[in-house]
Amino acid sequence: MRRALPALLLLTSACTVTGTAVPVGGNLALVDARRTGAALDAVKTAAEAVFSYDSASPGAFDQAVAANVTGPAKDQLTRLFDQIRKSPQPVHLVTRVRQAAALEFTGDKVRDLAVLQQDSAAAERGATKGLATVAFTAVREGGRWRLSDIAVNPAQPAPAPQPDDGSTGGTRDSALAGARAAAGALFTTDSTDPEGSYARAEAVTAGPLADDYRAKKASYVEAIRRSGTKVALGPDPMAGVVALTGGRAIVLFFTTLQVTDPAGKATSRPFTTELDVVREGAGWKVTGVRPVTAA
């Protein structure tokens, strides 16, 4: 069996890269919806250009990097694409941004969490797909946005939250904190305590998800028991709001799950999902979970 293309192996690897966080200032992500959206669109265009590659036209890749990348991101891309550019096999990779959420936006700098899908098609190998979750930082230079930092499978601290005072920024950060807390309850399990694992998860659900948990309690508890594993969130799980309407939000969430088997062997598994969250009282609960998989 032929091995997958280096790019797909790279993008789906479990290694964690920590990038450079934007200094905390006035975080306008979703507060200034128009400019946040324009910045995300620009990052999407740049990311799709520099994460696509055709070995028949390597100069086009170099031009894309020159036009869309600055600072540390240049060296980061060089390392990411080193194996690909040396491959003796023809390489044709097309990358698109499946989903993105702004983490921080300050007007001249934006940081976002994006899910990339990379497709490769070759007659002798057939079609292959790879997914990666990446944290991008971009800066505005000379009237255009350029990528300045790229972190694959990122683990980065969340920016300092704004007060939950009813403002858009405060509601955004409250929803993110609620989503991270709920994710810890939903995706952390211990096969030696299946009832407790279920109870912690069920307690952070609402609406149709809560109904599903209660209807299938026995099967959920048994699945946790039979797994024989302990699962915990990795350090600094990342979350960004995709959409915010009053007391409801869609949150893009990423972590590297730490899975420990009965023998004590630990492995890391990148995990990306969308969470639908709703405010209930002073907190937030999850009404829907949609793991992100290759289309």
pLDDT tier, 22 (very low <50, low <70, confident <90, very high otherwise): very low
Average pLDDT value over all residues in the chain: 90
Q: Counting every residue, how long is the chain?
A: 295
* Cα 55–chain centre separation: 28
Q: Could you give the residue ranges of the DSSP H alpha helices within 132-280?
A: 168-187, 194-202, 207-215, 217-227
Q: Are residues 123 and 256 in the same domain?
A: no
Q: Are residues 247 and 137 in the same domain?
A: no
160 part of a folded domain: no
Residue at a domain's end among 152, 187, 213: 152
Full DSSP string of 35-101: HHHHHHHHHHHHHHHHT-EETT-HHHHHHHHHHHB-THHHHHHHHHTHHHHH-SS--EEEEEEEEEE
Predicted confidence at residue 294, as pLDDT, reads: 78
Closest CA to 284 of 257, 256, 235, 250: 250
- The string of pLDDT tens digits covering residues 93-149 is 999 999 999 999 999 999 999 999 999 865 455 578 899 999 999 999 988 999 999
| Cα distance from N-terminal residue to C-terminal residue, the chain | 23
pTM for this prediction: 0.90
Q: Which amino acid is at 165?
A: D
- The string of pLDDT tens digits covering residues 215-231 is 999 999 999 999 999 99
Structure tokens, 91: 């390489």
161 part of a folded domain: no
Q: Are residues 134 and 266 in the same domain?
A: no
Structure tokens, 195: 């009832």
208 part of a folded domain: yes
CATH code for the domain of 247: 3.10.450.540
- The string of pLDDT tens digits covering residues 234-249 is 999 999 999 999 899 9
Calpha distance 253→244 (Å, rounded) = 15
Predicted confidence at residue 121, as pLDDT, reads: 66
Closest CA to 210 of 225, 197, 198, 195: 198
Beta bridge partners of 270: 256
Q: Are residues 180 and 285 in the same domain?
A: yes
Q: Hey, is 287 helix, strand or coil?
A: strand
What's the structural domain count of the chain? 2
Q: Are residues 112 and 234 in the same domain?
A: no
- The string of pLDDT tens digits covering residues 270-280 is 999 999 999 99
Q: Which amino acid is at 55?
A: S
163 part of a folded domain: no
Residue 215, phi-psi category: left (phi > 0), alpha (psi -120 to 50), beta (remainder): alpha
Q: Are residues 91 and 127 in the same domain?
A: yes
Radius of gyration of the chain (CA): 20
What lies within 8 Å, CB to CB, of 126 at 6+ separation is none
Residue 279 sits in which domain range?
Answer: 168-291
H or E segment to which residue 33 belongs = helix 33-50
Residue at a domain's end among 152, 186, 208: 152
